[in-house]
């Protein structure tokens, strides 16, 4: 079980602040990763999103940009 008795409250507060479109929690290779799908407008928003996870969870965080099909079409038309 999670050692921090406030874990779920902190997680809920973080999710309420950043409003992920989706959140998934899964076991992989003995770890407990989570995947949050969050819409950001600019890269400068990333530190505010991930820093709390480093500080209170000690989490390893990967920020992976993704796009939908419409974004892909728009990006390819700007070449």
Q: Give residue 21's pLDDT.
A: 94
48 three-state secondary structure: helix
Is 63 part of any domain?
A: yes
Q: What are 8-56's pLDDT values in tens digits?
A: 999 999 999 999 999 999 999 998 899 999 998 888 999 999 998 888 8
- Please tell me whether residue 27 adopts helix, strand or coil conformation: coil
Residue 66 is assigned to a structural domain of this protein? yes
Q: Is residue 14 part of a domain?
A: yes
The total number of structural domains in the chain stands at: 1
Residue that the structure tokens 């700007």 belong to: 78
The answer to whether position 2 is within a domain reads: no
Residue 11 lies in a domain: yes
**What confidence score (pLDDT) does residue 78 get?**
78
Give residue 21's domain range: 7-77
């Amino acid at each position: 079980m999670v050692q921090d008795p406030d874990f779920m409250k902190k997680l809920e507060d973080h999710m309420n602040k950043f409003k992920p479109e989706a959140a998934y929690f899964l076991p992989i290779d003995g770890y407990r990763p989570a995947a949050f799908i969050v819409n950001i407008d600019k890269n400068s928003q990333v530190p505010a999103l991930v820093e709390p996870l480093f500080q209170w969870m000690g989490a390893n965080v990967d920020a992976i940009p993704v796009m939908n099909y419409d974004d892909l079409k728009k990006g390819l038309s700007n070449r």
